[in-house]
Each structure stands twice: as C-alpha cells, then as structure tokens.
Amino acid sequence: MKKYIYGVDLGGTTIKIGFFPIDGELIEKFEIKTNTENGGINILGDIVKAINSHMLANKLSKDDVKGLGIGVPGPVSNGIVQSCVNLGWGSVEVKSDLERLINLPVSVSNDANVAGFGELWKGGGTGYNNLVFITLGTGVGGAVVCDNKIVDGHVGCGGEIGHAPSLDNEFKCNCGKIGCLETVASATGIVRIANKFLKTSSNKSILRGKENISSKDVFDAAKKNDDIALKTIDYFGKNLGFVCATLAVTTNPEAIVFGGGVSKAGDILIDVVKKHFNEYAFSVLRETTKFKLATLGNDAGIYGAAYLANQM
C-alpha cells in the first residue's frame, strides 16, 4: 500500500525535504546542502541519496511511497527546467532524470508555483481550488492555480507575477524592463519608493536620516501615521492592487494570498491592496475576491511539492 510522499524544495543553498503521509500533515523534515559545483551535476543524485537513506532508516520500501514532488528555481514545462542560474543548471530533464535515479514517480514545477500550491493545500488558501499567490520578498514571485492545477504555461513562465507590468514607469527591473511589479512591491522596492519620497518631500518623517531603511521600518512607521511611510505604502498598494485587478479578471481566483517577508506587515498590507483593488477591479470581483496572508512560511515549498506528488 502506498502510504507516503516526499516533497522537495530545491534552493540555491539548501535542499529541504518533507516526509508526509498521503493527504496528511508533515511528519518530518530534513535538509541537505546544495552542491552547485561542476554545474550542479550532483544535485539530483544527492536528493536521491538523502531520500533512500531516510527510507532505509524508516524501514520503508518503494512500495510504501507514492512518489515525490519537487520545486526548482527556474521555469519548468513538461518536467524540464530551461535554466536555473542559482544551481548552475542549463536545461535539465528533472522529471525523467529523477525517476530513473530513484525509481519512483516524480512531479516537478517552479519553486514559487509550488509554494503557492502548498498554501492552497494546507496554508492561507486552504479550501480553495482557484488561487493567485504572490510572494513579496527580496523579489516578487507568484503562482496561479486554476481548478487545483498549477499553471506552468507554455514555456514555464506562468505565475511570473514579479514581472507583470505595474503602473510605475520609473524603476528598472533586473530583467531589463521598466516598471515590473517587483520594482515597487518587493522589500527592496518599498525601500526604493520610501527613499524617493524622502528625497522629493520636505515633510517630517521618522524614516529621515535612518540608515539602511527596511520595508519593515516603512510599515512600522506607517502604523504610526508617518506621512512619508503612508505615502510609500499607498504607492506600493496602488501598484499591487492594479496588478491584482488584472490577475483577477484573467483567472478569477477565489483568493489572492500574500506570502514572503513583506507579508508579515499583516492587515495594513491587505487593507491598502484591497483599497486600490477596489479602484481597479471589475465590479463583481470586488465583492467576491478574498485577500489572505500565507501561513506556511518557509515550509510552503515542501508542502506544495508533496501536494504535487499527491496528485499523481
């Protein structure tokens, strides 16, 4: 009887592995270092070694395990990742290579897409089948889930919400374009906006003169009604609300879930995004689209990967 699944979150420095019962709660998690030497040639083999030794220690055979899911940091389509700069990978046939090495079924998707899938299964999006997930961290990532399936898209760029065009037309993105959502809605983007307003306004602010402002400083100052911080958060919310309105009319999600470090700001973030979403969104979507915070934190990836394996 197949009773267990493994969920793997493959990152540039560590590989997190979660051990789950089918449809159940996380039993155990462990991690190994990501060996990026020699173009990351040993990464898949290291994952297989770690899982095989976990199975041996727990007296499990391949008959006990349904399979494994894995999230990788690059665009994935049909089980193949085109390139993972963080891993030193070019095109790698992750699904077929892993299946051959471990002799179990494997399902693979992009890491941010997988994290969104985890939030839908056991996190902030539990109970929904249609979800947009947006991670607001150093950068901005995302996932689109429609009818309980991740939208990887034609060349694996489904859910690349960080590069959705925003209302801003000033800041340059790492991708080379101007005005990507990431430039104004990431932690670094929020600091960028705050610094701009500090420069162009003479209003008093607790942020003024502070060294190395963080996005948390900006939200904390906004909670104290600091004028520059409130303006910054409003600009952030306007751009994010605009993109959410576009996504809502494209995929009509039941909920839009925010994760990543910036989402720790909590209700103030939801409130400002909702305010501007209501300004831009198609009428019926204003009443029916829910906004939620992610709850799984760094475990979202292993949960989502396990859910991918669950669905095979």
Residues in contact with Zn ion by CB under 5 A are 163, 173, 175, 177, 180
Task: Provide the β-strand partners of residue 65.
Answer: 4
Least separation, in Å, of the C-beta of 133 and Zn ion?
Answer: 18
Least separation, in Å, of the C-beta of 187 and Zn ion?
Answer: 16
Least separation, in Å, of the C-beta of 158 and Zn ion?
Answer: 16
Nearer to Zn ion, 118 or 179 (CB): 179
Nearer to Zn ion, 175 or 312 (CB): 175
Least separation, in Å, of the C-beta of 166 and Zn ion?
Answer: 10
Gap between the Cα atoms of 221 and 134, Å rounded: 23
Q: Give DSSP secondary structure letters for 64-75.
A: GEEEEEEEESS-
Instruction: Break the chain down into helix, strand, coil percent, rounded to 5.
Output: 45, 20, 35
Nearest to 109 by CA among 304, 311, 298, 251: 304
Residues in the chain: 312
DSSP-derived secondary structure letter, 172? B
Half-sphere exposure of 266 (CA within 13 A, CB side): 4
CB 294 within 8 A of CB 263: yes
Nearer to Zn ion, 177 or 210 (CB): 177
Nearer to Zn ion, 180 or 228 (CB): 180
Nearer to Zn ion, 132 or 180 (CB): 180
CB 82 within 8 A of CB 155: yes
3-state secondary structure of 49: helix
Least separation, in Å, of the C-beta of 236 and Zn ion?
Answer: 16
Q: How far is CA 59 from the centre of its chain?
A: 34
Structure tokens at 126: 């539990």
First to last CA, the chain: 15
Nearer to Zn ion, 163 or 192 (CB): 163
Nearer to Zn ion, 43 or 180 (CB): 180
Least separation, in Å, of the C-beta of 136 and Zn ion?
Answer: 15
Burial class (CB in 10 A: 0-12, 13-18, 19+), 283: exposed
The one-letter amino acid code at 74 reads: G
Least separation, in Å, of the C-beta of 62 and Zn ion?
Answer: 42
Least separation, in Å, of the C-beta of 139 and Zn ion?
Answer: 9
Nearer to Zn ion, 177 or 204 (CB): 177
